[in-house]
Amino acid sequence: MIHDTTETPIRTEEFTARQKTLLVQYYPLVAKIVNAMKGKLPPYADLDELHSTGVSGLADAVKKLDPARENSFAGYVAMRVKGAILDELRKLDYMPRSARNEAKKIDRVREGLEQSLGREPNDGEIRIKLGLDKKQFDKVRRRTQLCSFVSLNNTVGYEDSNSPSLSESIADENAETAVEQIEKQELSSMLKSRVINLPEKQRRIIESYYFEEKKLGDIAKEFGVTEARICQIHSQALQALRAKFKN
């Protein structure tokens, strides 16, 4: 039994002596492939799990090795390890069922061509095997491309802990623009200057009601008048302000 750094075992009991030798020889290649892919992996990918998947791909490649093609085994095993990792990533991402079925069909065709050709087939060979023209094949490939979920808590920068998160970087359509904020500040300044120039009673009622957030009943008690009278003066003050803004 061979163990990797994450305690993921390869059970060698079912392998021949030659296959065990190949497992040991190419085992370090799995870590190299995972590390090479690390920079392009989506955030949800777990490196330890992908390494384990790569090890399974190595074991599968060793089992299926045609002795007559052993000279080209290095390229073949690298291809199978990468393929196993990509398959695992597909299981983790979101993809419509129809696209998933198309992806599986492409994988089956690719694997069959790998066995018959002894190398990784190119897109043209896969397309011909599927019986698709270039336009149809390109459409299928677009539908079966990997999709990934990204956490909005992830930072935009790579190593900078002070980088903003994605949620902070996405524009809020409901947020005020800089122009709207300036206009609001100018309007507020104009309103305050108009209020200051109102007759004293109107000014005090406007300030108490809007700026100090007092109730009309409490304002009426302070003035020693009825609440209906305060409402009347309040309406007069608003009419005066509207007239000044129209001018």
Over residues 150-163, mean pLDDT:
53
- Domain ranges in the chain are 1-92, 96-153, 178-246
pLDDT score recorded for residue 3: 45
If you average pLDDT over residues 8-21, what whole number do you get?
Answer: 69
Tell me the HSE value of 53 on the side-chain side, using a 13 A CA sphere: 19
More confident site: 38 or 168:
38
pLDDT of 247 over the 80 cut? no
Which numeric CATH code is attached to 178-246? Answer: 1.20.140.160
For the record, the structure tokens of 48 come out as 């330890």
pLDDT score for 8: 43
Predicted confidence at residue 171, as pLDDT, reads 56
Of 76, 86, 24, 25, which Cα lies nearest the Cα of 54? 86
pLDDT digits (tens, 9 = 90+) for 134-152: 888 888 877 776 544 455 5
pLDDT in tens, 72-117: 778 888 888 888 888 887 776 555 667 667 878 888 888 888 888 8
| Confidence category of residue 6, pLDDT binned at 50, 70, 90 | very low
Task: Note the pTM of the prediction, 2 decimals.
Answer: 0.36
Is 177's pLDDT higher than 60?
Answer: yes
CATH of the domain spanning 96-153, picked from 3.90.780.10, 3.40.50.1370, 3.50.50.60, 1.20.140.160 = 1.20.140.160
* Topology match between the domains 1-92 and 178-246: no
**Out of 1.10.10.10, 3.40.605.10, 1.10.1740.10, 1.10.10.60, which CATH number does the structure's domain 1-92 have?**
1.10.1740.10
Is 152 within 8 Å of 166 (Cβ atoms)?
yes
